[in-house]
Structure 1
Amino acid sequence: MKYSILFILQTLALFSAPGAEPAARPNILYLFVDDMGWGSIGPNGQAARKDKGLPYVRTPNIDRLAEQGVNFTRAYACHVCSPSRSSQQSGFHQGHTFADANDPDNARKAMRGEDILMGDAMFAAGYTTGYWGKWGYGGSKDQFKPKVDNIQSLPTSHGYTHVLAELHHVRAHTFFQPSLWSAPAKIDAIGGIHLIPNSIAKYVGSDAYPDLPAYQNHHDYPSIAYCDDAYAFAALDFVRKNAQNYNKTGKPFFGLLATQIPHAPFNEISQLPNWDHAYEDDTAFKKLSPQAQQWAAMVTRMDAHFGHLLSALDDPNQDGDTSDSIADNTLVIFQSDNGGPGGSSHTVFDSNGSLRGGKGKIQEGGIRVPLVMRWPSMIHSKSKLKSGNQCARIVDITDLLPTFCELAGTPSPLSIDGVSIAPLLSGCGHQRNRDFIIHEASNGQSIIRGKHKLVRARVRGNRDAPLELYDLERDQTEKENIAASHPELVKELHALLLGERVGEAKGFANTYHHWIGDEGALMSHPENWSDYAYANAGVTYLSDDGGPQLSWTALIENKGITHSLVSADTDLEFLGFEISGSSVEATQTLQINQGIKLTGRNEIRLSNNGNLVINGGTLTSLRWVDIQPGGILQGHGRIEASLYNNGIVSASGKIPLEVSKDYYETLDARLSVSIEGDTSTGLKVYGKAILAGTLDIALSNLSVKANTPYTILTASQIEGTFRNKNQHVTDGNDQLFSIHYTHSEVSLVPVK
């Protein structure tokens, strides 16, 4: 059966419903540190070391966050600095970004204008945005006369309006840069950012700024600031100002403090007055090696700065009265960018805990990191995710961007690898699962799925490199390779790993394309899609002028004033694709006919006024088909993915619409089925079905049989019910049906 644009519009008009009012959006303060291993905080090992009388690092404020929030014990980032920042900001893992290593050229190319980064998303959502610290992209590495190398890669080109940062990671290999990049900037500044002296002189002599840990009022404090002191004071100004503004206007803020601490060089901290004051009462500290003392002092200095930021949330105007506290609705995140390096921090303080390896390696010690989150209004003693507890859910650094987007009430960037954990944090909505996470390092690549971790050792030019398999539940130290006893699992995980493009040559990344074809044009033809080219300063880093492929992030969007139709004429694969229209008078429809398979490896998204009609074809994704408000999925065929319905699903035709995994509805979702004579058509779900929306009958006739059940949904397990009043539904001919449920079936019974 073919479906006309008119019929789709009638369906949209019939089923349109207002969305639920969003909950109050939290402020977000993200504390991101450099080279701090998983075991470097109290709850991950340092408290136990203290109890045993062993050398330990003092992090009282981070530990307090863990006591008041949640410590995620299986959190991951990347193996080194630059990839972690790229994956953090973009939501893509290393197989889909330029920055899969600490390439010196990353500053010129890692962030593109088309990439929607954290700052872009939060600024677009109405947040006031700030970034302080190690950014690492867009500037040159010259210490004395750095310049902007790529405007596309600057934080100011990606939504951050308040900035004090370092734009090249090599230039961040000292803590005494003579200048730092700042915004807002003078009007003619390239990229909206300019250099200012690295100084904290303006904070000297002011009672508004605590003297510890910086000792900025000490006569021996250097004229060129220790850069993390400068970053911390700038962040403190931002938090105080915007906390007060939040109380006045309700406008939330997003601030990210990305310290250079505790990255090397360690010895530079010893140039500061009273640099080891936090350990002056610790006689054992004086017996440690100079490097161990310096590393510990760096960590505790950073922790003290964090404490001042937390105090600013409690008392924004510093008057001693905490009635203006905004801490309750502020999500605070602490995280490291990779595992701790070797040297004294590892040997003296056991900074990576019992984990194997360290910074730069694919083993757990290189990629598992400390992650703590506190949000008092949502994480407390009575919430599902309880304060003071640990959580063993796997959380990757790519998950933070979609989490912030969902909390801010804005869609995540299309086809990213990260998965939001906002429902887990808030206790509201359905928490989507992430089947696996991917990492690359100098010595290999890995895929982690559940308790299993497959490691593909890096052997240049050899795709059949040695494979190792570990059970992290019973062997988190990765000592026992069990690959030989699980050959089928190894084969399956290896195929998934290679499918994530980790084996591609240097310079590979996903590409962005949009539809430029005429009405009725075919999807497979390259001329119907925009070409892609990423260039800077006369150098083209990546180009793609062919047809759709698995690296594409693609948008089919109708920007016109009349309806538009696109047809899939052959099997096609994308990383992800989205369909959207500009209005109910200008919808965009994609039609998939019998025998055609359309793949969005990470996702298929139907957004507002975007319609997808399946005439016996197949949609497939490793994750989901996502129907957002105003989107319609209609027809019959097969969906080889989970189906998330926050719009409209209309199952029509003589055979069911099959869903191979799970089906989820929101309160605003609508499911339409048809009943004609003895035949009913609906959903056949092979996983579980979570019901919460409204059921409608789009088509029926008067020949239905009274008291005869018509099955309209089957699933392996059904949870919830439709929200129809009195569990009744009426068709267009005023025939009333009652809705009946079993554990695996929903049926309609005509009522006289």
Structure 2
Amino acid sequence: MKRVQRAFSVFWVLLVGTIVCARPNIIFIMADDLGYGDLGCYGQTKIETPNIDALARGGMRFAQAYAGGPVCTSSRSVLMTGMHNGHTPARDNVPHYNTYLNSGDVTIAEVLKTAGYRCGGIGKWSLGDPGTEGDATKQGFDMWFGYQNQDHAHYYFPEYLDDSDASSGRVEYHGNSRSKDVYSHDAMTNRALSFVKESAGSPFFLYAAYTVPHFSNRSEDPDRLSVPSLSAYGDKPWSLAAKKYASMVSRLDRDVGRIVDLVESLGLSENTLIVFTSDQGPLEGGPSKELNSNGALRGAKRSLYEGGIRVPFVVRWEGTVKGNQTNNDVIAFWDMLPTLAEVAGVDLVSETDGLSVLDAFLGKPLIEDRDYLYWDYGHSRRRYDQAVRLGEWKGIRLGLDNSVQLYHLGRDPGELRDVAKQNPNMVKRIVEMMNTAAVPDERYEIGKLYEGKPIWMPAWINE
């Protein structure tokens, strides 16, 4: 049995000097492969993101927020379970399993349901196919629309999308891979808006796990960047790939604006916490380099340097979170389960690696401190990498047989100067953490190369 319990049947909390009824609505919007520097509010000068920038002006922008990992499946698992990548059930995109979560795992949605929330999800779930134990609707969600399978999500003009509300479990778009009439991102936004409208009378949790601007399958687009139009970027003196990437980001921004506008029109702004973030850094090279998607950060997706795991993170809660703030507290995806549990008034019984960072949202000092932050990458791949952040120090080991690189992020956020030789005692502490942070998991054997194929391939490719 999954161990979650209600804290109070009626819960009131003191926020910013005012008594506010608890159980606010929660909207958690997550982009896919969006870089730390892809938004105007994080220094982007080429891509237009007016709606997310406005979200930041109306709330708080975090400068040191971290994803759960440098790839999609593990980062989502960390977010949902509140456990870092050395403990969470899904630790990499490979090996390919039809389910990553099991019936005993506890997710954010299940925690919020104990407080009476209606939970809906759109986009890429990636933690279990329909009908498996990891199916989103068996992990606390009342509704899921989009892609439950990781590989299915590489197609923006699919022949179908998973739809838990449909009797068949999917909505069909016959011939869409050729006609390109339905862009999945648009369909998912429409379902997100419908969910908010339908749920407005009671507390709800919307998890909008968008797929843009993640690359698509090459069979769909030669640049692997599927988008219906180049919007405002068609005449820019950029590569075609950069124009497509920028168009995907601006389309995402447009739809964040549509969600925020709906919340405002329904009179829910003061009772709705909105979070916007990304699941990890951008794909290395190509348009992300041309558009400076990571700003001054080193590395990209599949890397444990800052560019692979530090992500934009914006919070807005009108009347509760003060506007136009930048917060330098260090927060991570595994903090979200305890944080949202506190927002909803739920006492957690299951263990997590995270801390509630609600005080940071409210502009208060974080009193409870963490020992360290941990990431790894490369289970069942050619090289197993690990990273530990301890205060301002960050150690990275690229392969178990290699020495640790050490950086002081306060003085060197771009990780340009390795100071391991000058700080042997700190390196020793970090190595000890690396050697003990991850609990072995037979599904993710370190050093055993995975050579299998994806468990899902679209039937329409061969039609």
Among 71, 92, 102, the residue aligned to 2:61 = 71
Pick from 126, 135, 138: which aligns with 1:154?
Answer: 135
**Which residue does 2:102 correspond to in 1?**
112
Q: The residue matched to 1:100 in structure 2 has which SS?
A: coil
Summarize deviations over 1:293-324 as a string: whole Å, max 9, x none. 000000001110111100001112xxxxxxxx
Contact 1:97–1:110 (Cα < 8 Å) also in 2: no
Q: Does 1:440 find its partner at 2:376?
A: yes
2:429 pairs with 1:492: yes
The 8 Å contact of residues 422 and 431 in structure 1, kept in 2 or not, is answered as: no
1:351-750 matched pairs, under 5 angstroms: 351-380=293-322, 387-412=323-348, 414-426=350-362, 431-442=367-378, 444-459=385-400, 462=401, 465-501=402-438, 504=440, 507=443
- Separation of aligned partners in 1, 2:355 and 2:172: 39
Tell me how large the CA RMSD over aligned residues is.
2.5
Alignment partner of 1:171 out of 127, 142, 152: 152
Query: Aligned residue for 1:197?
Result: 172
* Map of 2:215 onto structure 1: 264
Query: Residue 198 of structure 1: CA displacement?
Result: 4.4
Q: 1:76 to 1:436 in 2, by over 3 A?
A: same
Q: 1:20 to 1:64 in 2, by over 3 A?
A: closer
- SS of 1:151 mapped into structure 2: coil
Deviations 1:65-111 (A, max 9, x none): 111111101111110111111101111111012322211424x2421
Change in 2 beyond 3 A, CA 1:448/1:239: same
Query: Offset of 1:328 from its aligned partner?
Result: 1.6
Q: CA deviation at 1:474?
A: 0.6
Residue 58 of structure 1 corresponds to 48
Q: Which has the higher strand share?
A: 1
Counterpart among 96, 107, 112 of residue 122 in structure 1: 112
Aligned in 2, Cα 1:184/1:341: closer, same or farther, shift over 3 Å?
same
Distance in 1, matches of 2:283 and 2:180, equals 30
Matched, 1:240 2:197: yes
**Any unmatched runs of 5+ in structure 1?**
1-17, 50-55, 140-147, 202-220, 246-250, 317-324, 381-386, 510-752
**Shift of residue 136, structure 1, vs aligned partner:** 1.2
Instruction: Supply the AA of the counterpart residue of 2:100.
Output: A
Residue 269 (structure 1) shift: 6.2
Structure 1 pair 346/407, CA: closer, same or farther in 2 (3 Å)?
same
Structure 2 length as normaliser, TM-score?
0.85
Task: Provide closer, same or farther for how the CA distance between residues 476 and 427 of structure 1 changes in structure 2, counting only shifts above 3 A.
Answer: closer
Deviation, structure 1 residue 172: 1.0
What is the CA–CA distance in structure 1 between the aligned matches of 2:111 and 2:232, rounded to whole Å?
39
After superposition, the C-alpha distances for 1:262-297 in whole angstroms (9 at most, x for unaligned) are 00126576663xx122336xx4x2x21110000000
- Give the Cα–Cα distance (whole angstroms) in 2 for the partners of residues 346 and 452 of structure 1: 27
Q: Which has the higher contact order (CA 8 A, sep 6+)?
A: 2
Structure 1 residue ranges (4+ consecutive) displaced by more than 3 angstroms after TM superposition: 18-23, 221-224, 266-271, 426-431
Structure 1 residues 151 and 271, CA gap change in structure 2 (3 angstroms): closer
User: Contact 1:133–1:164 (CA<8 Å) still a contact in 2?
Assistant: yes
**SS of match in other structure, 1:454:** strand
With over 3 angstroms needed to count, the CA separation of the structure-2 counterparts of 1:413 and 1:164, relative to structure 1, is farther
Query: 1:306 aligned to 2:256?
Result: yes
State whether residues 215 and 226 of structure 2, in contact with CA within 8 Å, keep that contact through their aligned partners in structure 1. no
SS of residue matched to 2:346: coil
Matched, 1:293 2:291: no
1:161-219, Cα deviation, whole Å (9 max, x unpaired): 12102111111111112111112343xx6xxxx111249x9xxxxxxxxxxxxxxxxxx
Residues in 2 aligned to 1:345 and 1:151: alpha-carbon distance in whole angstroms: 37
Q: 1:39 is matched with which residue?
A: 37
State TM-score, norm by structure 1: 0.53
1:327 aligns with 2:269: yes
For structure 1, which segment, 400-409 or 434-443, has the greater mean C-alpha deviation from structure 2 after superposition?
Answer: 434-443
Residue 277 of structure 1 aligns with which residue?
231
Number of the residue aligned with 2:27: 29
SS at match of 1:490: helix
2:37 aligned counterpart, secondary structure: helix
SS of residue matched to 2:427: helix
Aligned to 1:252: 203
How far, CA to CA, are the matches of 2:227 and 2:291 in structure 1?
A: 23
Q: What SS does the corresponding residue of 1:476 show, helix, strand or coil?
A: coil
Q: 2:280 aligns with which of 331, 334, 338?
A: 338
After superposition, what is the alpha-carbon deviation per residue over 1:337-394, rounded to whole angstroms, capped at 9, x for unaligned?
00111233322110011111110011111111111111112112xxxxxx21211111
* Per-residue deviation, 1:506: 5.2
Distance 2:65 2:102 in 1: 27
CA–CA distance in 2 between the matches of 1:413 and 1:223?
47
- Check 1:222–1:433 CA distance in 2 against 1; reply closer, same or farther (3 A cut): farther
Distance 1:456 1:183 in 2: 42
Deviations 1:435-463 (A, max 9, x none): 3111112461111121000112214xx4x
Aligned to 1:80: 71
Please report how far the alpha carbon of residue 431 of structure 1 lies from its aligned counterpart in structure 2 after TM superposition: 4.2
Max radius of gyration: which structure?
A: 1
Q: Distance in 2 between matches of 1:421 and 1:373?
A: 12
CA contact (8 A) 2:99 2:132 kept: no
Q: Quick one: distance in 1 between partners of 2:149 and 2:155?
A: 11
Q: Is the 8 A contact 2:70 2:281 kept in 1?
A: yes
- What letter matches 1:84 in structure 2? S
Q: Give per-residue Cα distances to partners, 1:704-734, cap 9 Å, x unaligned.
A: xxxxxxxxxxxxxxxxxxxxxxxxxxxxxxx
Shift of 1:112: 1.1
Q: Deviations over 1:499-558 (max 9, x none)?
A: 2116x465269xxxxxxxxxxxxxxxxxxxxxxxxxxxxxxxxxxxxxxxxxxxxxxxxx
Contact 1:96 1:508 in 2 (8 A): no
How many residues are paired up?
418
Q: 2:290 aligns with which of 340, 344, 348?
A: 348
1:175 and 1:268 in contact (8 A); partners too? no
Q: Which amino acid aligns with 1:37?
A: G
**How far apart, CA to CA, are the structure 2 residues paired with 1:185 and 1:173?**
22
Aligned 8 A contact 1:198 1:230 in 2: no
